[in-house]
Amino acid sequence: MTARPFSHLLERLRSAGLRPTRQRLALAKLLFEGGDRHITAEQLHGDALNHNIRVSLATVYNTLHQFTDAGLLREIVVDAGRSYFDTNTSDHHHFFFERSGKLEDIPGDTLTVSRVPQAPAGTNITRVDVVVRLTG
């Protein structure tokens, strides 16, 4: 909810090595100034259109992946054939409501994963994802 100056987003894109184009700035505004969000490409596209931001679905996909590569977003896979993007890139886990298809952060450091096995030879652990699946 903190109303940061628009230039903050501009800086944020620049530091990520991404040209602050009209589309990227507009999408960044939608993504990062509305609190934590779990959003699909289709949803973000609809959201953009609702705000009179003209942007193609292809660009939304490109932008989401660029933001993810730049570490501004985190991609979450819980549902075959649908990608969610999480604006919260800190270390945390998720509830997944199977019926509605909604995702929700599991607060703070409640859940803990212990005794994570060693990465097999020649590999490194990128991330440990925990999804608590819920009926309803």
Least separation in angstroms between residue 100's CB and DNA is 14
DSSP label at 124?
A: -
Angle, helix 22-32 to helix 57-69, in steps of 10 degrees: 70
Beta carbon nearer to DNA, 19 or 127: 19
Nearest in space to 93 (alpha carbons), one of 83, 84, 101, 103:
103
For position 49 contacting a second copy by CB under 8 A, the verdict is no
Which residue(s) pair with 94 in the sheet? 105, 131
Partner that binds at residue 4, options a second copy, DNA, none, CB closer than 5 to 8 Å by kind: none
Interface pattern 53-92 for DNA (x via CB under 7 A): -xxxxxx-xxx-x--------------xxxx---------
